[in-house]
């Protein structure tokens, strides 16, 4: 299997042949990965008669590239999974964001992009977690990714952001899921695009439920069209090119986002909830547990 991994400060493709190696590939990567050398490595493994199949997991554009390179006679041994991709920023964008916290990519042992206070993975024993923002508060890099502001230019004209997919299986978040009872545990959407894809999913031993495909596609924008280009993106990118720190550029171009996060940081640090009044105590504000403020994904870093 080939998939993206964070290794020595870079997001690159590596091969795994053992089950215990799969833990290195877990987690979302909100940055563009480098496929340098990937195609040659895949070809070598496919040509190896000892290998029954070779699985490649990547973005739709990367899977399309793999299929163009691999000769027709080897296609039956090639299994592919693409991700429902919103778009991806260049690595330089992430480096710019981390620089303002005096963090260098080459010093980072692991990075998670959808952290919610997750525990340190076992394989990072001895590593120190670096807190960028308090627990419960999102960070500006993740927010602008979600807003579709920081992607590379080609992502806004992506020819693969459509219902017709390039892979055997497509995987993504199941937004608008009909399985409400399971939503709290997280639900993935799996689209089987070929007979080979159906067989692959059936052999995986997953808990599967059929869903309305039209509803699933309607709630996943990038199964319909590329993300729309934001007019404010030009302002933001111009500020970044001038050397402005990432968060300061966010404050200038997206003040509402910046102010919201700033207020949230202040609120979480307060020893009491200023909006909670206990009628049994004369309506005074008192020390209380902060209420659920919603899901706030944030970058988690270990050095």
Domains in the chain: boundaries? 86-160+229-303
Element at 251 (helix H, strand E): helix 246-253
Kindly report, residue by residue over 83-95, the tens digit of the pLDDT: 999 999 999 999 9
Tokens linked to 107: 């010093």
Q: Report whether pLDDT(286) > 50.
A: no
DSSP 120: P
pTM of the shown model: 0.85
CA quadruple 164, 150, 250, 5: dihedral positive or negative?
positive
Residues 68, 115: Cα–Cα separation, whole Å: 35
Identity of the highest mean pLDDT range in 64-68, 73-77, 129-133: 64-68
Helices marked H in 84-230: 91-99, 140-146, 195-203, 213-218
| Mean of pLDDT values over 104-130 | 77
Asked which of 7-16, 143-152, 292-301 is least confident by mean pLDDT, the reply is: 292-301
Q: Report whether pLDDT(177) > 80.
A: no
Q: What percent of the chain has pLDDT over 70?
A: 84
Spatial neighbors of 31 by CB under 8 A, at least 6 apart, are 11, 88, 89, 90, 91, 93, 94, 113
Residues 266, 259: Cα–Cα separation, whole Å: 11
Pairing of strands 54-58, 78-83: parallel
Tokens linked to 68: 């163009």
Q: Report whether pLDDT(290) > 70.
A: no
Quote the pLDDT of residue 275.
54
The residue assigned the tokens 């590593």 is 127
Q: What percent of the chain has pLDDT over 90?
A: 54
CA quadruple 190, 2, 14, 42: dihedral positive or negative?
negative
Residues 299, 114: Cα–Cα separation, whole Å: 6
Q: Report whether pLDDT(291) > 50.
A: no
Q: Report whether pLDDT(297) > 80.
A: no
| Mean of pLDDT values over 106-120 | 77
Tokens linked to 210: 């059929």
Quote the pLDDT of residue 228.
93
Round the average pLDDT of the chain to a whole number and report it: 85
Quote the pLDDT of residue 182.
58
Asked which of 34-43, 183-192, 246-255, 273-282 is least confident by mean pLDDT, the reply is: 273-282
Kindly report, residue by residue over 218-249, the tens digit of the pLDDT: 888 899 999 999 889 999 999 999 999 999 99
CA quadruple 261, 266, 269, 271: dihedral positive or negative?
negative
Residues 157, 229: Cα–Cα separation, whole Å: 9
Quote the pLDDT of residue 293.
46
Quote the pLDDT of residue 236.
96
Residues 34, 6: Cα–Cα separation, whole Å: 10
Confidence of residue 99 (pLDDT cuts 50, 70, 90): very high
Residues 80, 2: Cα–Cα separation, whole Å: 10
The torsion region of residue 183 among left (phi > 0), alpha (psi -120 to 50) and beta comes to: alpha
Q: Report whether pLDDT(13) > 60.
A: yes
Kindly report, residue by residue over 128-173, the tens digit of the pLDDT: 888 888 777 889 999 999 999 999 999 999 999 999 999 999 999 8
Confidence of residue 210 (pLDDT cuts 50, 70, 90): confident
Element at 64 (helix H, strand E): helix 60-69
Identity of the highest mean pLDDT range in 21-35, 114-128, 149-163, 284-298: 149-163
| Mean of pLDDT values over 260-282 | 65
Identity of the highest mean pLDDT range in 5-19, 109-123, 268-282: 5-19
Residues 280, 273: Cα–Cα separation, whole Å: 16
């Amino acid at each position: 299997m080939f998939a993206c991994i964070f290794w020595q400060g870079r997001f690159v493709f590596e091969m795994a042949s053992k089950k215990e190696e799969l833990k290195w590939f877990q987690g979302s990567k909100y940055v563009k990965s480098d496929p340098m050398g990937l195609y040659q490595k895949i070809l070598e493994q496919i040509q190896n008669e000892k290998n029954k199949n070779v699985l490649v997991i990547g973005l739709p554009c990367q899977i399309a590239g793999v299929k163009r390179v691999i000769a027709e006679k080897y296609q039956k041994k090639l299994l592919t999974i693409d991700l429902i991709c919103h778009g991806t920023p260049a690595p330089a964008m992430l480096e710019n964001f981390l620089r303002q916290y005096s963090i260098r990519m080459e010093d980072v042992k692991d990075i998670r992009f959808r952290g919610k206070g997750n525990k340190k993975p076992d394989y990072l024993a001895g590593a120190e977690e670096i807190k960028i923002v308090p627990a419960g508060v999102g960070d500006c890099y993740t927010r602008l990714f979600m807003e579709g502001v920081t992607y590379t230019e080609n992502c806004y004209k992506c020819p693969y952001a459509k219902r017709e997919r390039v892979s055997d299986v497509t995987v993504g978040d199941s937004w608008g899921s009909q399985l409400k009872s399971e939503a709290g545990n997280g639900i993935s959407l799996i689209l089987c695009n070929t007979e080979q894809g159906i067989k692959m999913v059936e052999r995986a031993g997953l808990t599967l439920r059929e869903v309305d495909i039209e509803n699933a596609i309607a709630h996943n924008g990038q199964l319909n069209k590329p993300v729309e280009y934001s007019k404010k993106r030009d302002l933001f990118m111009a500020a970044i090119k001038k050397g402005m720190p990432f968060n300061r550029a966010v404050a200038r171009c997206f003040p509402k986002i910046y102010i919201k996060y700033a207020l949230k940081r202040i609120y979480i640090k307060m020893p009491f909830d200023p909006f909670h009044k206990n009628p049994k105590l004369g309506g005074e504000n008192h020390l209380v547990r902060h209420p659920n403020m919603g899901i706030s994904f944030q970058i988690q870093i270990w050095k």
